[in-house]
Structure 1
C-alpha cells in the first residue's frame, strides 16, 4: 500500500496549525463539553452493565486517542447510547470482563477497515434507514432506564421492551415514589435550564440537585458506588472466550464505524472546520477502542450530541476534544467520592431526556411524508432495531431500500414502438422500430423481452439502443435471446446505436454475434431504416419470383 496513503492516516502538525488563533475558543468548548459529557459517560457506563468506571475510562481515553488519530477536526468521541444497546446483551451473556475483549477485537476490525479504505461505505446508507435506526436506538435507551427509574432491577429478557415490562415485577411499592420523583425532577431541570440560558449544563445541575436532596433527606436511592481515583494500568484481558465473542465484536465494529462516520459527516456539514477523512476517522476510532479496552473501558464511537455541543461552544480544532477528556480526568482524580454518591435514578433521568431529544418530530414527519417507500423503510428499520438488534436493522433497512430503488429503476426503463422516419414508405408496414429507454437490467429485462418477441407480421425489427442508460449482463443476455428468437422466426434484426460504454459488454455476452450479419449494426437511424426498407423490398421480390 502506498506510503503516501498510509501517511494520510496518521497525525500531522497540520492538524494544529490554527491552534494559535483558536486555542481560547477550543479551551472554553472543551471545558463545556467535558461538563456535559460527565453525566452521559457515567450513565452510559451504568446502563451498559459495565459500570460507571468503564464509562468514564472510555470518555477519557477514547476522547484523547480519537481526537489525535481520528479524521475529524471537531468530533468528540466516547461511550454512546447505540453502543450501550449492543453491549447490554454481551454483559448479560458473558459477564463484564467480556466488554474489554470485545472492545479490543472490535477496535482491531475498525482500524483494519480504515486502512483498507472502507470509510466511504457509510455514504451508501439511505437517509430513511439512518433515521429509523436512530429512532429505534432512542426507544431502546429510554426503555433500558425504566428499571432504575422505578428502583427495580432489569428483567431477564435481552429485549429492551420485554425487560422493561419484567422489571415492574420487582418494584418495591414502599420506595418506588422516590426514584420516579428523581427522574421527573431531572427531566424538569433539563428542559427548563436551556430556556433560562443556553449555556447552562442542565444535566449537571439536575444531577447535583437530586444528589444533594437524596443525601440530605436520606432517601432510599441506589447510588453509583465507589470509583477509582485514577486511571487503571493497561492490562491485556483474558481471551479464553474470544471465540464466542467474535460475532458481538463484529457487530460492535460495524456499529462503531457507522455511528462515527455519520457523526463526522454531520459535524463537517454544520461547522466550518473543514472536511473529514473517513478512512483516518475509522483508524482513530479503532485505536480509541483498543486503548479503552486495554484500560478496562468500553468500545468508543463518535458522539454526535457531544460533537454538536463542541461546535456550538466554538470548538475549532482537535484541542477542544482533548481538553474535554482532560476535564473528565481531573474530575476523576479530584472528585470521585462526590461522584460515587450520585443516584442511579438521576442518571436514568438524564438518559431518558437524552433519548427523547434524539427523536426529531420534524424529521419523522419529513420521512413519513416523503414517499411511501421511504416511510416503509423508516418504519421497518425502527421496528427491527427495537425488536432484534441494530446491525440486523441496518442490513434489512438497506435491503428494503435497495428493493425499492431497483423497482423504481426498473420502472424507469421502457420499450416504445416508433414509426420509421418520414417520408413514409410502403415497406414501413413490414418494419417494427423499437426504442429502449432508461435501464435494462435483471429487474426489467424479461418485460422488454416479452414486449418485443410478441411482434408479428413484420420482416425486419430495428432496436434503438442509443437511449439506453443502464445495461447489465442480464439485460444484454435478454437482448441476445430476443435477437436469436426473432431470427429463428425469419425476422431480421438490426441494431442501431449501441453506446460506447455498453459495446464491450454486448460483445462479450453475444449480442453482436446473434445478428445475422455484422453489417446489421448501425450508428445512424436513417441508414438502419434504409437498409430495412431495402431488405423488405428484396424479400417481397424473392417471394414474388
Structure 2
C-alpha cells in the first residue's frame, strides 16, 4: 500500500473522530448551550421515562439511555446540535422484541445493533438516507405516531396490554379488560396531562408543559392515594457497565431484530440530523460520522443496561430553538438527567404510569402535521399512494418493511414517469425532398432509454414496412443504460436481417462507452454508418436508395 493511500485512509478515519474544531465556537456560545441543555433536559425527562416504560424495559432503561447515549452521541456524532436518546420510533420496534424475548435481551440487541451502525459509518453509507423519498418519510412518521398512541392505550385505561405484538390489536384487547372504577382514575390523569400540555405553551412558549403536568397529577394522586400504577423505585445512580450476557446461538437468534434496530437507528438519526442542519446555523452535518457516533451511543447504552438510541427530532429542535449551538448543550442535557437520577429517584418513583401515557399520547399527536398530510395527499396521485401505503404497512406490519416497500413503490412510479417522458418520434427528412425519400425513415430518440422504456421503442421502430434505410438519431437521449443499448443492438440486427440498412447519428460521448461495449456500433453493417452530422447521414441514406433503384 502506497504512502499516499495510507495518508488518505488516515484522513478518512480522522474525519470520523472528534476534534478540537467541534468546540471552536464554545467561547461565545457556552451560556446559550447551558441554557438550551437544561431546557432539553427538562423536556427529555418525561420522554425518557415514558419511552423506557413503553418499550417494556422500564423507566430506568430509558433514563440510562438518555444519559449515556446522550453524552456519547454528542461527542462522537456528526451534528453539533443533535440530541440523542430513546425515541418513539425505536420503542415501536423494541416492544415486540421485549414481548417475545424478555427485557434482558435489550442490552445485547443494543450492542450488536450499535456495532452494525458503526460499520455503516465506516463504510461511508451515511448519504443513503438522502434516497428516501419525502412521502415515505412522512408516511413512516404518521405510522409511528399512530403506533405510539395505540401503545399507550393499556396504561391510559389502567389495564394490562394484550397478547398481540400488533399495537392496534393489543389496544383493543386491553380495552376488553378494563375494570371500573380504576379506569376513571387512569383516564382522568391522561386527560389532565393532555390539557396541561396543550394549554401551557399558550400561556408562555417556554413553559415545560409535560413536567408541569406530571408534577400536578403525581402530587394529587399521592395525596388522595389514587388506585393507579406508578413507576416505582429507581436505583440511585447509573449501573456498573458490563458486557451483555448471551452465547453465539442467542446472538444469531436476535440477528434479525438487531439488524432492524440498526436500520431504524441509522434512518431516524440521519433524518433528525438533516432536519437539525436545516433549522440551525451551525453548519452541515457529517452523515458518516453521525452513524459512527450513534452506533457507539447504542453500544455504550447497552453496556450500561440501556436500550438502543437514535437522534431525537423533537428534542433536537428544542435544543436549536433554545439557543444550543455546540455539543455542550446535548452533554448538559444528559448531565441534568444524571443529577435527577442521583438525587430525585424517590420523587420519580411516585409518577403514575397513566401520566407518562398521557405525555406520549400528546407527543404522538404532535408528530402528525395535518398541513403536511394535506400537502402530500394533494401533491400527486403517486405521492399520495406512496404515503398511504407506507403509513398503513408501518401500523399493520413492520417499520423497516414499510420503508423498503415505500421506496419500492416510489421507485416504480418514478420509473413509470421517466418511461413516459421518453419518446420515439418519426421525423420528416430535411428539405428539399428528393425521389426515394419515402424509402427512408428518420427516428428521433429522446428522454431516457432504459429498461422501462426500451421495449416500447423496439415495437415502434420494428413495425416499419416498405423502408430501405432507417436513420436513428440518438443525440437527444438523456439516459442510456445497458438494457436500452441492448434493445438498440437487437433492433439494428433485426432490421439488417430484413435487408434494411441502419444508420446511427449522434451517439453522445457519455453514452458511447456503453453503446460500444453492448454492441450498438458493432451491429452496424459498416463502421461508416455511424455519423455525427444529420446532413451527412441523410445524404448517405439517399445515395444508398439511389444505388438500389439503379440496380
Same fold by TM-score greater than 0.5: yes
Alignment partner of 1:519 is 2:528: yes
Residues 253-310 of structure 1, C-alpha deviation per residue, up to 9 Å, x if partnerless? 0000000000000000011011100000000000000000000000000000000000
Residue 211 (structure 1) aligned to one of 218, 228, 232? 218
Alignment partner of 1:409 is 2:418: yes
Equivalent-residue separation in structure 1 for 2:100 and 2:409 (angstroms): 31
Residues 42-61 of structure 1, C-alpha deviation per residue, up to 9 Å, x if partnerless? 00000000000000000000
Correspondences of 1:172-191 after superposition (within 5 Å): 172-191=179-198
Equivalent-residue separation in structure 2 for 1:173 and 1:428 (angstroms): 91
Residues 461-484 of structure 1, C-alpha deviation per residue, up to 9 Å, x if partnerless? 000000011111111111111111
Alignment partner of 1:19 is 2:26: yes
Correspondences of 1:159-170 after superposition (within 5 Å): 159-170=166-177
Residue 329 of structure 1 is matched in structure 2 by: 338
Residue 447 (structure 1) aligned to one of 453, 456, 461? 456
Equivalent-residue separation in structure 1 for 2:78 and 2:421 (angstroms): 39
Residue 296 (structure 2) aligned to one of 281, 287, 293? 287
Correspondences of 1:10-89 after superposition (within 5 Å): 10-89=17-96
Residues 464-508 of structure 1, C-alpha deviation per residue, up to 9 Å, x if partnerless? 000011111111111111111111111100000001111111111
Correspondences of 1:192-211 after superposition (within 5 Å): 192-211=199-218
- How high is the TM-score relative to the length of structure 1? 0.99
Residues 165-201 of structure 1, C-alpha deviation per residue, up to 9 Å, x if partnerless? 0011221122110000000000000000000000000
Correspondences of 1:438-477 after superposition (within 5 Å): 438-477=447-486
Equivalent-residue separation in structure 2 for 1:90 and 1:381 (angstroms): 22
Residue 132 (structure 1) aligned to one of 139, 146, 150? 139
Equivalent-residue separation in structure 1 for 2:225 and 2:58 (angstroms): 23
Equivalent-residue separation in structure 1 for 2:18 and 2:455 (angstroms): 53
> Which structure 2 segments of 5+ residues have no match?
1-5
Residue 377 (structure 1) aligned to one of 386, 393, 401? 386
Equivalent-residue separation in structure 2 for 1:344 and 1:205 (angstroms): 15
> Which structure 1 segments of 5+ residues have no match?
none
Residue 276 of structure 1 is matched in structure 2 by: 285
Alignment partner of 1:9 is 2:3: no
Equivalent-residue separation in structure 1 for 2:343 and 2:236 (angstroms): 7
Alignment partner of 1:391 is 2:411: no
Equivalent-residue separation in structure 2 for 1:512 and 1:60 (angstroms): 64
Correspondences of 1:235-384 after superposition (within 5 Å): 235-240=242-247, 241-384=250-393
Cα shift at 1:243: 1.6
Alignment partner of 1:157 is 2:129: no
Partner SS for 2:522 = coil
Runs of 4+ in structure 1 deviating by more than 3 angstroms, as ranges, are: none
Equivalent-residue separation in structure 1 for 2:490 and 2:96 (angstroms): 53
Equivalent-residue separation in structure 1 for 2:439 and 2:46 (angstroms): 80
Cα shift at 1:513: 1.2
Cα shift at 1:162: 0.3
Partner SS for 2:436 = helix
Residue 546 of structure 2 is matched in structure 1 by: 537
Residues 114-138 of structure 1, C-alpha deviation per residue, up to 9 Å, x if partnerless? 0000000000000000000000000
Residue 96 of structure 1 is matched in structure 2 by: 103
Equivalent-residue separation in structure 2 for 1:112 and 1:475 (angstroms): 36
- How high is the TM-score relative to the length of structure 2? 0.98
Residue 3 of structure 2 is matched in structure 1 by: none
Equivalent-residue separation in structure 2 for 1:496 and 1:385 (angstroms): 50
Residue 142 of structure 1 is matched in structure 2 by: 149
Equivalent-residue separation in structure 2 for 1:329 and 1:173 (angstroms): 38
